[in-house]
């Protein structure tokens, strides 16, 4: 799999979408089966004061369809965080989508606990079910939804075999302090977290970690100060991570 550990530019939708596509192509060229990226890497995390919300559309919009075609052409499954608008109600959600190797959207999860202040634009989602990806029942979490046990436990009880989280969670006073490891102990399931790097308004994410965790331990931790694709050989066996090794890292230069 590939961690697209990116440094999006706040509010630069087209540039950030191109960066995700670039990273996806690099991931596929390096042999990855899955390409994961962090929370709200398309608009940047604190986008709303800068560009508002009128641009948010029902999904799949034209760009999501383009990413789906790219995923199909490359034969990779893509996990991508993108805001969406619910046409019937007009509500907005912070959502994590899964695109299969065939270019079909396999499912999505709307963030259950939008962060007060930074995510006031977003409505709270409802608990979802695991999504089969390459035969693995995958439970989706979005950043702070991993802070407490209940969302992960619900996914386990619904049949999840693996937890995947998209995050924009930087270190510091409110940074992660063992929550990801704790969720693997609560559920007995391994967990993969793709975070991000760079700056976002006044937040510094350069030391933020993307991790693979299982049985209460971090098996792999990667970080970077600029947009980087980390290629990781990760194998599941009997419900746990049997192998986890960083193969290579590729710094993404702006095209």
The span from the CA of 116 to the CA of 227, in Å, is: 27
The mean pLDDT value for 224-246 works out to: 96
CATH number for domain 2-251, candidates 3.60.110.10, 3.40.190.10, 3.60.20.30, 2.170.120.20: 3.60.110.10
Pairing of strands 34-37, 2-5: parallel
Average pLDDT, the chain: 97
The mean pLDDT value for 101-125 works out to: 97
Tokens 């407490």 correspond to what residue?
Answer: 148
Q: Above 60 in pLDDT, residue 194?
A: yes
Among 90, 79, 21, residue whose Cα is nearest residue 57: 90
Task: Give me the sign of the Cα torsion angle 135, 139, 140, 141.
Answer: negative
The mean pLDDT value for 140-156 works out to: 98
Model confidence band, residue 255 (pLDDT cutoffs 50, 70, 90): low
Per-residue pLDDT tens over the stretch 204-214? 999 999 999 99
The span from the CA of 32 to the CA of 30, in Å, is: 6
Predicted confidence at residue 173, as pLDDT, reads 87
Cβ atoms 210, 223 nearer than 8 A: yes
Predicted confidence at residue 98, as pLDDT, reads 98
* Helix and strand numbers, DSSP H then E, in the chain: 5, 15
Cβ count near 255 (within 10 Å): 9
Predicted confidence at residue 76, as pLDDT, reads 98
Q: Pick the range with the lowest mean pLDDT from 56-60, 105-109, 136-140, 168-172.
A: 168-172
């Amino acid at each position: 799999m590939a961690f697209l550990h990116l440094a999006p530019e706040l509010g630069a939708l087209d540039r950030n979408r191109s960066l995700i596509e670039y990273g996806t192509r690099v991931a596929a060229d390096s042999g990855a089966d899955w390409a994961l990226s962090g929370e709200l890497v398309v608009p940047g995390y604190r986008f709303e004061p800068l560009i508002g919300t009128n641009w948010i559309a029902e999904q799949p919009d034209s760009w999501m369809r383009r990413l789906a075609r790219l995923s199909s052409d490359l034969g990779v499954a893509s996990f991508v965080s993108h805001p969406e608008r619910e046409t019937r109600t007009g509500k907005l959600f912070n959502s994590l989508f899964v695109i299969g190797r065939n270019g079909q959207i396999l499912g999505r999860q709307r963030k259950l606990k939008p962060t007060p202040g930074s995510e006031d634009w977003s409505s709270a989602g409802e608990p979802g079910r695991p999504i089969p990806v390459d035969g693995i029942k995958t439970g989706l979490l979005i950043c702070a939804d991993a802070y407490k046990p209940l969302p992960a436990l619900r996914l386990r009880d619904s049949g999840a075999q693996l937890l995947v989280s998209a995050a924009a969670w930087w270190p510091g006073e409110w940074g992660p302090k063992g929550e990801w490891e704790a969720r693997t102990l609560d559920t007995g399931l391994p967990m993969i977290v793709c975070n991000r790097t760079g700056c976002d308004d006044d937040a510094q994410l350069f030391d933020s970690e993307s991790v693979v965790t299982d049985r209460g331990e971090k098996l792999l931790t990667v970080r970077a100060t600029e947009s980087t694709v980390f290629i990781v050989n990760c194998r599941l066996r009997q419900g746990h991570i049997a192998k986890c090794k960083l193969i290579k890292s590729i710094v993404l230069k702006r095209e």
